[in-house]
Amino acid sequence: MNEREMLIRELERLEPQYNPEMRAVTQPFSSPGYHTTLTPEIGSVHSTRTAAYYALALLDSEVERYRERAFAVLERLVAAQDTDPERKTFGIWSWFYEEPLEKMSPPDWNWADFIGKPLILTLKRHGAALPEALRASVEQAVRNACQAIIRRNVGPHYTNIAIMGAFVTLVAGEWFGDAETEAYGLARLNRFHEYTTENGTFQEFNSPTYTTVAIEELSSIYTETGSPIAKRLAAELLDVAWAIVADRFHPRTGQWSGPHARAYSELMTPSVLSFLQHALAGRAAWLAEDEFRYHTMWYGNRIRCPERFVPSFFEPRTETLVQPLLVEAGGPRRYAITHSTEEYSLGTFTHGDLWNQRRSLLAYVATAQGPVYMRLRALHDGYDYTGAWLLAAQRENRVLFGVHLCTDGGDRHPNLHLIQDGTIAASDLRLRFELGGAVGAVEADWPPSREAAPPRCVGRIGEQPFEIDLAETAFGDHAIRYDIVRENGTIGIDVILYEGEATSIPLAALGRAVVAGQLALGGAALPYVATSTAEACTLETRSAGEGDAGGAAAMRIVLPTRPAPIRDLVAGSLAETRPTEATR
């Protein structure tokens, strides 16, 4: 099946969802829990971004009966843009036609980039076919979007938007003959290239969602620009992006190994698998034809995995990858560590928050029933708590970890939903090692502890044993409970810090609040020493000759135990792993 046939098939799949009155595709409502004030009770919605993609796809199909529909979709879409240059939201759209910009909390300025892209492609590919008035409206909408992008001027740390904004302004500037906008787009791409080259990776490191977006957007630049300089920069950045994916793809489980800077699911989604299968050009068949999801924005865009990276998607390997990550000026160096064997992978960040889009400690294990993931979460009344901070030292299949609490920063979101006055209201607060996927292959239990012995969970995922050995657990004066919770197709290995009546918890007043221990996957935990003071907790594995029969290199973490501002927690933390020849 060629790409045009796949495009038409996708349009046929969407046909029952098209609402001619709304001039948009009807979709079930979903959201990440911020920006929109709509709730699931609304049922179905009509997305402006989907409308932009849909209009371009209708015209790309070259099916005559779709042309008038495309014009109708575009007319409503351009009319929904904020066109008042005096407003902060000039040049952007709301997420949904059901919710105007002024109702959003807050509006999402990324929509200038997300909708500007399909609109400039519409002009490039089909501008001559548009009615004159509509063409003028689309041109003005693109110019407005470019101005919004330039006003906002996102830095190179915001990976996908830095690239997408460069595409919109560069390609639109070329198309309109607007030298100033074109120069901005090229300078933005060059700035992102310099930033990435200097740091060796993307800020949104190893994200199944955003690394694939980066590849798609860089491929779009390479495909659409007429600038040789922009083509060279895009090609070099594509090599960086594909190396991230290929190095961390785990062939046996078919999963994208962690840790993930941003993700929306644990197991690979059909959309990401479809993207990789498409980019591998027939070499992979993870999805059957009826499961494969062709994204209409791939049409006309040459998205291909470079040949040298292809074997990594199919050949098992045992290795440890250590990737230095970007840090704020004066901050401690962070690392992403990924250890893989044929049967499993385990990845951690040395420190960072536990936001619901973060996968700061993440493992995948192959079983006869299918892949199983293990993810560390902190839950505040059932929702991921960003104010919990992880510190981790990993060597191969073992991790010394500590989780402590900040008094500032995010609650549900790092920026949009903040902890107020160092206090949270909660009826439940817990740390959870969550297992999902083929959970029928999982066994887990908290055996009764001997007197004075630390709590310890033991279990098995398929053929792989695991242990979670806790050295320190404290949450002020609250009694801590341990449980195994099975719900929503997952298994939670829970450390329950607080449960009861909803109450305000001034975090700094707790005194000591910490959970620290060791996770071992595929083998027994290493002997280690834990020492505590009123201010800090230190965990250190024994070096060879001190009880470590395997001769593994030492790991050490030191973390403050009292809730404090993020800056103080990070400054007072230490995570060390002695390097080995297996590390690269």
Pick the closest to residue 230 from 159, 265, 182 (CA basis): 182
DSSP code of 260?
B
Averaged over 325-339, what is the pLDDT? 79
Residue 33 has pLDDT above 80, yes or no: no
Count CB-CB contacts under 10 A for residue 299.
18
Q: Given this model, what pLDDT does residue 452 score? A: 67
CA 434 to chain centre: 17
Q: Smallest Cα–Cα separation from 420: which of 429, 408, 431, 438?
A: 408
The confidence score (pLDDT) of residue 333 equals 82
HSE of 437, CA atoms in CB hemisphere, 13 A: 27
Token pair of 69 as six digits: 């529909």
Q: What is the pTM of this model?
A: 0.90
Is the confidence at residue 580, as pLDDT, over 50?
Answer: no
Read off the tokens for 384.
């991921």
Q: How many residues does the chain have?
A: 584
Comparing 576 with 321, the larger pLDDT belongs to: 321
pLDDT, average across residues 168-186: 98
Q: What are residue 436's DSSP bridge partners?
A: 373
Cα pseudo-dihedral 226, 230, 232, 237, rounded to 10: -130
Q: What is the pLDDT of residue 290?
A: 87
Does residue 492 carry a pLDDT above 60? yes
Residue 543 has what pLDDT? 57
Lowest mean pLDDT among 180-184, 329-333, 522-526: 329-333
Instruction: State the amino acid at position 191 in one-letter form.
Output: R
**Contacts of 383 by beta carbon, 8 Å cutoff, 6+ apart:** 33, 356, 412
In percent, the amount of the chain with pLDDT more than 90 equals 89
Can you name the residues that pair with 498 across neighbouring β-strands? Answer: 429
Average pLDDT over residues 81-108: 96
Give the span between the Cα atoms of 303 and 282, in whole angstroms.
13
Name the residue among 299, 303, 272 with its Cα closest to residue 54: 299
Residue 581 near residue 570 (C-beta atoms within 8 A) = no
For 385, the token pair is: 């708590």
Is the model's pLDDT at 230 over the cut of 90?
A: yes
Model confidence at 584: pLDDT above 50: no
Q: Position of tokens 């999402």? A: 108
* pLDDT value of position 457: 96
Q: How far apart are CA 331 and CA 566, in angstroms?
A: 11
The predicted pLDDT at position 330 comes to 56
Question: What distances in angstroms separate CA 269 from CA 255, 264, 295, 337, one per listed residue?
Answer: 10, 9, 13, 23
Q: How confident is the model at residue 547 (pLDDT cuts 50, 70, 90)?
A: very low
> Tens digits of per-residue pLDDT, 369-386?
999 999 999 999 999 999
Span 416-467, pLDDT tens digits: 889 999 999 999 999 999 999 999 999 999 998 776 678 999 999 999 999 9
How far apart CA 14 and CA 23 sit, in angstroms, is 13
**Can you give the three-state secondary structure of 421-482, one letter per residue?**
CCEEEEEEEEEEEEEEECHHHEEEECCCCCCCCCCEEEEEECCEEEEEEEEEEEECECCCEE
Helix 67-79 crosses helix 132-152 at what angle (to 10 degrees)? 40
Nearest to 337 by CA among 223, 258, 439, 239: 258
**In this predicted structure, what is the pLDDT of residue 548?**
45
Q: Where are the alpha helices (DSSP H) in 317-381?
A: none
**Average pLDDT score over the chain:** 93
Confidence of residue 24 (pLDDT cuts 50, 70, 90): very high
Q: Is 522 helix (H, G, I), strand (E, B) or coil?
A: coil
Tell me the C-alpha distance between 319 and 510, whole Å.
41
CB neighbourhood size of 449 (10 A)? 12
Task: Express each pLDDT in 267-309 by its tens digit.
Answer: 999 999 999 999 999 899 999 988 999 999 999 999 999 999 9
Residues 6+ apart with CB under 8 A from 443: 459, 460
- Hunting for tokens 């993930």 — which residue is that? 260
Express as a percent the part of the chain with pLDDT over 70: 95
Residue 413 three-state SS: strand
Across the range 515-520, mean pLDDT stands at: 97
Average pLDDT over residues 329-344: 87
> Which 8-state DSSP code applies to residue 457?
E
- Which pLDDT band holds residue 577 (cuts at 50, 70, 90)? confident
Helix (H, G, I), strand (E, B) or coil at 209: helix
Q: What is the mean pLDDT of residues 52-72?
A: 97
The pLDDT of residue 582 is 33
Angle at 330 between CA 327 and CA 332, to 5 degrees: 55
Q: pLDDT tens-digit profile of 132-164?
A: 999 999 999 999 999 999 999 999 988 999 999
Q: Which two tokens stand for residue 42?
A: 């609304």
pLDDT of 510 higher than 90: yes
DSSP 329: T
According to DSSP H, which parts of 207-269 are helical? Answer: 208-224, 228-248
Q: Give 546's pLDDT tier (boundaries 50, 70, 90).
A: very low
Reported as a pLDDT band with limits 50, 70 and 90, residue 31 is confident
Among 183-187, 512-516, 573-577, the range scoring the smallest mean pLDDT is 573-577
The Cα 375–Cα 521 span in angstroms is: 13
Distances (CA, A) of 466 to 155, 372, 518, 521: 42, 13, 10, 4
CB 246 within 8 A of CB 309: yes
Count of C-beta atoms within a 10 Å radius of residue 515 = 24
Nearest to 459 by CA among 519, 516, 417, 499: 519
Tokens representing 181 are 């906008």
